[in-house]
Structure 1
């Protein structure tokens, strides 16, 4: 019998940083097995929301439940929860003095007591899953941007987490590499039975693989629905974001500069 409860549940969530409210009244449920795109302009609070899901930033108000439990405050309980969450960082976070295989093996060596031959086999499987088994002995500097991102994805999958969070996974990638990474996200989600949350401002690359989309802007959740409903929306704020228009309900921060200041 499959678990029908949402893998992530947010209820009236408020998140503060530095004494300032970044997000307020965020309520959201993420069904198991789905891919949810969390969209919004730069600086809208997407990464702040990610920090709440991983327990890095405690809620100022409301509740955050991940993997069927409230996100704990104690470091030991938080560490256990994080073992069930794979995170792909936008900067990859690969250690430059380790090979691709050694980078992928790192979580297994840190968090398990598996014998070395088993770890080697698991690393081969993870690299094969992202199409990079032949690059096992390559160092990060020898990899293209897209390849490095896929090695980081293999490492995020090392402990077989049921939940994957992608933080701006397309940053710095060309269109071809972006397409490869996003199709890989969809395929891995389906074949491994994952649930994925993709935090991004790359709308047109992400919507084709998403089951659900939410848009964060102006300190709150301004849209929640299917990608088709998002693209059909006539809301001026949504249209401004989707079309990349500088004028509209979403303020452009650079307006604070006067014409006499340097760009």
Structure 2
């Protein structure tokens, strides 16, 4: 894969769960080096899209390419692909009986044969990158919510993945911790030469650090463009989401939403 190739390419994607269509006709290209915000109301299918990118959910139709190859169905090949994808989960996923350093070291001990001194050095570097080197010996219960989220981020970065995926990274965080995490997303993306996909419904905290914004609603992509174009949009569906309006083209009832056709809007 050359540097000009997109790190994620999705074409004609349809995703179903439990016999119900969640997303359809999804086309998305994620260029290398960018921070792409995938926005939308809760339950709109954002996490379902992530499941397709990481290979947890097979498409009903269409194609998903990640890191220059189709997402494989073979388990061994899929595990190999996932080594190049760092994922920050909503709930952090830290093991409570391990220290911060031990949590960060876990992927390195599982997927590499590096000697202990090298792993210890890499762990210290990752914790330093998220501003938590002094918390190496702390257990998750001793950390604030924002600190625990940053430890989870350090762990996701342990294998130096070219692609980072953030699934609702601001859930449960106060405004200050949210600002710290989003600043880290931008700085780490640029300094480590990564590409980042941030899936969230926190619009105002995410758009300032994003290069590109995608809005998912009513079963499909309804906007794709720059953050500036998104904020300037007059499309009723986009405005309902951005302004938090209870009434509009996005139904509050999720059952009704999946029966509606997506209204697509593109902006350069």
Normalised-by-shorter TM-score class: over 0.9
Matched, 1:166 2:154: no
Q: In the alignment, what sits opposite 2:33?
A: 33
Q: Secondary structure at the match of 1:196?
A: strand
Q: TM-score, normalised by structure 2?
A: 0.94
1:176 partnered with 2:176: yes
Residue equivalent to 1:134: 134
Distance in 2 separating the partners of 1:252 and 1:19: 21
Alpha-carbon distance between aligned partners in 1 of 2:3 and 2:241, rounded to the nearest angstrom: 35
Distance change in 2, residues 1:182/1:18 (3 Å): same
Q: Distance in 2 between matches of 1:129 and 1:74?
A: 34
1:109 counterpart residue number: 109
- Indicate the residue corresponding to 1:219 in structure 2: 219
Alpha-carbon distance change, 254 to 157 in structure 1, aligned in 2, over 3 angstroms: closer
Counterpart in the other structure of 1:123: 123
- Secondary structure of 1:86's match? strand
Match of 2:263 in 1: none
For 1:73 and 1:252, locate their aligned partners in 2 and report how far apart those are by CA, in whole Å.
35
In structure 1, C-alpha distance between the alignment counterparts of 2:156 and 2:69, rounded to whole Å: 21
Runs of 4+ in 1 over 2 A off after TM superposition: 253-256
Compute the displacement of 1:86 (Å): 0.1
Aligned to 2:65: 65
**Which TM-score applies when normalising by structure 1?**
0.96
CA distance in 2: counterparts of 1:93 and 1:18, whole angstroms = 25
Q: Distance in 2 between matches of 1:112 and 1:201?
A: 35
Extract unaligned runs of 5+ from structure 1.
Answer: 257-263
Alignment-derived partner of residue 190 in structure 2: 190
Tell me, what secondary structure is at the counterpart of 2:55? coil
Tell me, in whole angstroms, the C-alpha distance in 1 between the residues paired with 2:99 and 2:28.
39
Instruction: Give 3-state SS (helix, strand or coil) of 1:207's partner.
Output: helix
**CA deviations over 1:7-44 (Å, ceiling 9, x no partner):** 00000100010111100000010000000000000000
Is 1:75 aligned to 2:75, yes or no? yes
In 2, distance between residues paired with 1:142 and 1:83?
29
Distance in 1 (CA, whole Å) between partners of 2:46 and 2:154 is: 23
Q: Which residue of 2 aligns with 1:261?
A: none
Give the RMSD, CA atoms, in angstroms.
1.3
Asked if the contact 2:90/2:169 (under 8 Å) is kept, the reply is yes
1:187-234 Cα shifts (integer Å, max 9, x gaps): 000000000000000000000000000000000000000000000000
- Deviation at residue 3 of structure 1 after TM alignment: 1.4
User: Which residue number corresponds to residue 208 of structure 2?
Assistant: 208
CA deviations over 1:102-160 (Å, ceiling 9, x no partner)? 00000000000000000000000000000000000000000000000000000000000
In structure 2, the partner of 1:243 is: 243
Which residue matches 1:147?
A: 147
Question: Alignment partner of 1:72: what SS?
Answer: coil
Query: What pairs up with 1:85-104 in 2 under 5 angstroms?
Result: 85-104=85-104
CA offset digits 1:72-112 (Å, max 9, x no partner): 00000000000000000010000000000000000000000
